[in-house]
Amino acid sequence: MSEERLKDDITSGQFDLFGKILDADDGVLGDLKVTSSFKIMKALGIYKEKIDTGEVYKSGLKKGLPKFKSELRYDGVKEVLEWAIQLNYYRMLLEQQGFKVSKMFIQAICRDSNLRIAQERGIDKTVYIIPINKISDCWLKKYFSHKAKTLRNALETKTLPSVCKIRERWGNKKCTDYCAARENCPYAKKITQFAKTQEQKGVEPDDYRKTA
């Protein structure tokens, strides 16, 4: 099956593929994502570690300060919660219809895989198949009920809900570079202004995002 729309009394959604999509197992649920190398790096648990080179800057704003270089590490937390929540909700809706879902995968297509920045993030392929674990149905129902209530309340009262959690904001990087709502989000405007000021002072993004 592909692109079937399913719904319950909380929400609805349309998954991309379900069935024998990888091997002989006919219970595989998959979703396609066209996304950035940054998000794939996070999903694979890749991160950069700063290594002291033992040298110092000889001129400029950073004169006298130690020089660092970045090295990639591959043992970080796999940040796939957003995808896992969405895919698990499709799983739950399918199971309510009597289908058995045995495995879940995200097929992540990297939209900037030909750029140097992707290589620097350890992303050297265009497509990654990322396994997704099961989340309990009880947790999913509570989460989506809360989100639906928050949205209804915001629409009725014409007030914005509280700022997204730090996990949802990817430590503010989503607000400055990726969120589809950032043009209209007061928090994104504030944090983008803060980022500009810090960059003018020569503070590295990884450092100022921790203090924002």
DSSP string, 50-78: EEEEEEE--SSTTTTSEEEEEEEES-S--
CB 175 within 8 A of CB 187: yes
The reply to whether 194 sits near ligand SF4 by the rule CB under 6 A is no
The reply to whether 187 sits near ligand SF4 by the rule CB under 6 A is yes
Structure tokens at 95: 């199971």
Question: How far apart, in whole angstroms, are the C-alpha atoms of residue 143 and residue 47?
Answer: 28
The reply to whether 174 sits near ligand SF4 by the rule CB under 6 A is yes
Q: Which is nearer to ligand SF4, 24 or 155 (CB)?
A: 155
Closest CB 182 distance from ligand SF4, rounded Å = 4
The reply to whether 154 sits near ligand SF4 by the rule CB under 6 A is no
The reply to whether 179 sits near ligand SF4 by the rule CB under 6 A is yes
Stretch that binds ligand SF4, among 26-34, 77-85, 99-107, 175-183 (CB under 6 A): 175-183
Torsion angles phi and psi, residue 63, rounded to 5: -50, 130
3, 114, 205, 42 alpha-carbon torsion, rounded to 10°: 40
Stretch that binds ligand SF4, among 71-79, 117-125, 179-187, 192-200 (CB under 6 A): 179-187
Q: Which of 25, 28, 23, 80 shows the shortest CA–CA distance to 15?
A: 28
Torsion angles phi and psi, residue 166, rounded to 5: -55, -35
Contact with ligand SF4 (CB under 6 A) among 6, 85, 115, 164: 164
Q: Which is nearer to ligand SF4, 21 or 175 (CB)?
A: 175
Number of residues lying near ligand SF4 (CB under 6 A): 12
Would you tell me which residues interact with ligand SF4 (CB under 6 A)?
Answer: 163-164, 168-169, 174-175, 179, 181-182, 185, 187-188
